[in-house]
Homo-oligomer: A and B are copies of this chain.
Amino acid sequence: MDSDTEMHRKESSSENPDPVKAKCPPVLVDDVYLNGPTLDVNGAEDFIRESMRIITEDAVKKATDVREKVCEWHSPEDLKELLDLQLTDEGESDTRILERCRDAIRYSVKTTHPRFFNQLYAGMEPYSMVASFIIEALKPSLYTYEVSPVFTLVEDAVLRKMREVIGWKEGGDGIFNAGGSLSNMYAVNLARYHHCPDVKELGLSAVPRLVLFTSQECHYSISKAAAFLGIGTKNVYVVPSDNRGKMIPTALEELIQTAKSEGAVPFMVNATAGTTVLGAFDPIEEIADICEKHNLWLHVDACWGGAALMSAKHKHLLKGVHRANSVAWNPHKMLMACLQCCAFLVRDKTGLLQRCYSARASYLFQQDKFYDVSYDTGDKSVQCSRKPDAFKFWLMWKALGSKELEQRVDRAFAMAKYLAQEVKKREGFRLLMEPEYANVCFWYIPPSLRDLPDSTELWEKIHKVAPVVKERMMKKGSMMVGYQPHGDKANFFRMIIISPQVSRQDMDFVLDEIDRLGRDL
């Protein structure tokens, strides 16, 4: 950065307008001189260009380089010192701000690194990232066609294609929104409205106790939805799952009967396609039969597992999904669109979504506009301003085509299978179960524990292994793998495999590294 550029940006301050440059004399209003603009975006060009160089080098190339660390760990206390977070009266120079950009990148976890396996998203998708940059630069909001013509049509096209993939051939509805949790909340509210439209106006205090059903393995957003939407977490009836993590349909049927016998009113079932921890798929066909019989809304939370629909080989895992009333599906997970990219899809073709969510704000949704206002999607949304996340998926889909997306999904499945095979081969590793999807769950048992008899004490010791190994991998920065307890199971590692940046050698590395980090325990 040369200092001229910085000067250029500060030059046209509101306090000292240059009367020679300005075409007309400044006007003083409330002690403020008003004339030309006081911010010239062109003057920021050098700053923007330099920051883009830093982003490309540090946040893209270096962050995704397998030879670099996944993270440079510092405790919160230390990191606060390193970052100097305080906000003050005076601003800082562009040079200093560029250093801050470098630091923010340096100390951040590299979730796009090939050895980041910690969450249900990972890796870098260049096309989607570029789409994100375009969105950030253009600052669109998706309430009206008038303000977001391109992105309105893009969202419509992506939703249309996703519905086709689900198997809803003749239309339907949907909306992208800020996260899978929110998609699930949309579903609960829509199911409730469908069951009892009066709730929108009268509220739940005017109706009998409504209950919904989900499996014990479902995502915690279902419980959050029940709390947030006023249904109450106790009115989420938890259906037992089998030892693979799949909802047991007969148990669902029984629980529906129980609820009815209590005088409660069942209104929806949430089936999970790809559970968070085990990657299990609930049996949608059988659940759909039960929903039809009892006239219940079927929502499929396919936030994680929806990607399998792209694969001819694996889409059977979601067999029956076309019978769902609604589906949540996050392309930001296995399909690697940039965060966040979350679709809520609806089978209904009668405008239910709009009726359920509309508030008809007259300053946005004027009915006397000069174009077809059915393109204004904002009144279907629980948000007001809303980001055009579909574009991040659309651009990469255009670039890769469905075939490449399918290959990536197939490869993630194969990579998970490979890792499971390796786990089984190795001493000191024990697989929780054969993976059905891209979650591979396993224990690491250090040499000191390998010959102990299977007992509560042994499992208490194994329980303490994963947190220590995790601490060590974080401090070393070599990789990131999640761990958790689950039901009565002691802490185990959960590997999530997504990105085509990942190699088979990385799978071997993960097992080697866990052993290296934990063998003294």
Residues of chain B with a CB closer than 8 A to A258's CB: none
Each complex incorporates copies of this chain amounting to 2
- Are A385 and B41 neighbours in the complex by a CB distance under 8 Å? no
Kindly supply a per-residue 1/0 record for chain A positions 484-516, scoring 1 wherever the CB is within 8 Å of any chain B CB and 0 otherwise.
111000010010000111111100000000000
The answer, yes or no, to whether A150 is at the interface (CB within 8 Å) is yes
| With A203-B204, A232-B206: A411-B126 Cβ-Cβ less than 8 Å | no
State the Cβ distance, A211 to closest chain B Cβ, in Å. 9
Contacts of A368 in B (CB 8 A): 464, 467, 491
A470 at the interface (CB under 8 A from B): yes
- Given the known A-B contacts A112-B139, A395-B101, are A484 and B384 also in contact in the complex, defined by CB atoms under 8 Å? no
Is B394's CB under 8 angstroms from A87's CB? yes
Chain B residues with CB under 8 Å of A339's CB are 139-141, 385, 387
What are the residues of chain B within 8 A of A474 when measuring CB–CB? 146, 370
Q: Which of A53-61, A288-296, A344-352, A424-432 contacts B (4 or more CB under 8 A)?
A: A53-61
- Whole-angstrom distance from the CB of A507 to the nearest CB of chain B? 8
- Asked if residues B52 and A90 are in contact (CB atoms below 8 Å), the reply is no
Is A89 interfacial (CB 8 A cutoff)?
yes
Bound state CA distance, A244 and B386, in angstroms? 30
Q: A179-187, A249-257, A266-274, A317-325: which lies at the B interface?
A: A179-187
Q: Let me know if A502 and B371 touch, CB within 8 A.
A: no
Please give the distance in Å from A266's CB to the nearest CB on chain B. 14
A145 at interface by CB-CB < 8 Å: yes
A107 touches B76 (CB 8 A): no
A259 in contact (CB, < 8 A): no
User: In the complex, are the beta carbons of A485 and B417 less than 8 A apart?
Assistant: no
Q: Determine whether the beta carbon of B30 is less than 8 Å from that of A276.
A: no
A500 contacts which chain B residues (CB < 8 A)?
14, 37-39
What separation, in Å, do the CA atoms of A39 and B123 have in the docked complex? 10
Q: Are A61 and B87 in contact (CB under 8 A)?
A: no
A414 CB-CB contact with B under 8 Å = yes
**Min CB gap A240→B, angstroms:** 18
Q: Does A442 touch B at the CB level, under 8 Å?
A: no
Q: Is the CB of A205 within 8 A of B201?
A: no
Within 8 Å CB of A141, what residues of B? 111, 119, 121, 339
Q: Which residues of B contact A63 (CB under 8 A)?
A: 137-138
Check B234 against A201 for contact (C-beta < 8 Å). Answer: yes
With A and B bound together, what is the CA distance between A23 and B51 in angstroms?
Answer: 36
Chain B residues closer than 8 Å to A404, beta-carbon distance: 91
Interchain CB contact (< 8 A) of A29 among B177, B200, B414: B414
Chain B residue nearest in CB terms to A156: B85
Closest 10 CB pairs of A and B: A203-B232, A230-B230, A178-B178, A91-B401, A85-B157, A132-B136, A44-B126, A204-B204, A59-B137, A32-B414
